[in-house]
Structure formats: C-alpha cells, structure tokens
Amino acid sequence: MLLVALLPGPAAHAQAMAAADVPPLAFGAMFQQYPQARQVTWRRFHDWYQASYTQNQTRRLVRFSMEGDVEATGQDMALTALSLSIKHTLTTYYPTRAFCRAIEVTNARTGGLTYEMATCETALSRTITLTANGRKIPRPQ
C-alpha cells in the first residue's frame, strides 16, 4: 500500500548534524547558491553533506562535497506521481511497507535521476532508492 502524505524524514543512512559541524566550503556554498532557502537542516549522507530546506513552500535537498561542489539536488514529489515501473517495484518487493515520502534526486554530474522513497511504519525511517525504470540501487556498505 502506498500512502500519499509527504512528511519530512531522513534519507538513506543520513546522520543529522549541527550546522557548525558542516565543512565551511559546503556551508558557504549552500547559502551562496540558495539564498532563498529557509528551515535548513543538515545531515551527513555517505561522503556528502546534505542540506534539506524549504523554498517557495517546496521541500528540497542539495548534497555537497566537502569542497562545496553540488553533487545532487532533489525535491519532494507526490507518491502518486511515481512512474508505474517504480510503483510496480515497490508493491512487488515491499508489499507490506508503507511509504510516506518520495524524493526525485538529480545527480549534478550526470543528470541521472533516482527516486528515494522513505518508509514510515517505524520511528526509524528506511529509504529505498530506485532508478527511473524501477531498478533497485544497492545500499553502500
């Protein structure tokens, strides 16, 4: 079953962090490139630093390298707007999971799209990452 609510939640293996702990180049790049960003929160996402923020009432994210380079951008999307391929993968491989958030993420270097869907049945959200055609992307170890 897919739920249609869009709630803020953590990304896959992202660890919350204080703004003071974000590398200065990444922190500065955020506010230089996104001066309209509001309600900014930071997380460590693999080797990147993810800023989640609100702009024009839309929840967005941007992932920076330690040097302040944009690695990926994303924004929330309605679960109902996911492609049929993605919906098929979710219902086939995760039939008992309830999903509460979907984010379309663009790789800044390649332009490739991935989709991150957060589960919402426990206090600890788990994120499933799929390609545009519904293929699962393995979690980094």
| Residue 50, domain member (yes or no) | yes
| Residue 141, domain member (yes or no) | no
| Residue 42, domain member (yes or no) | yes
| Residue 94, domain member (yes or no) | yes
Mean pLDDT of 88-92: 96
Could you give the CA distance from residue 39 to residue 24 in angstroms, rounded to a whole number?
19
The residue ranking higher by pLDDT, 48 or 15, is 48
105-129 confidence digits (pLDDT tens): 999 999 999 999 998 876 666 889 9
Continuous segment of H or E residues that includes residue 46: none
| Residue 10, domain member (yes or no) | no
pLDDT at 82 over 60: yes
| Residue 8, domain member (yes or no) | no
DSSP letter string over 48-108?
A: EEEEEEEETTEEEEEEE-TTS-EEEEEEEE-GGGS-HHHHHHHHHH-TT--EEEEEEEEET
CATH of the domain at 107: 3.10.450.360
SS3 20: helix
Average pLDDT, the chain: 87
Domain membership of residue 84 as a residue range: 15-131
Domain tally, the chain: 1
| Residue 19, domain member (yes or no) | yes
| Residue 125, domain member (yes or no) | yes
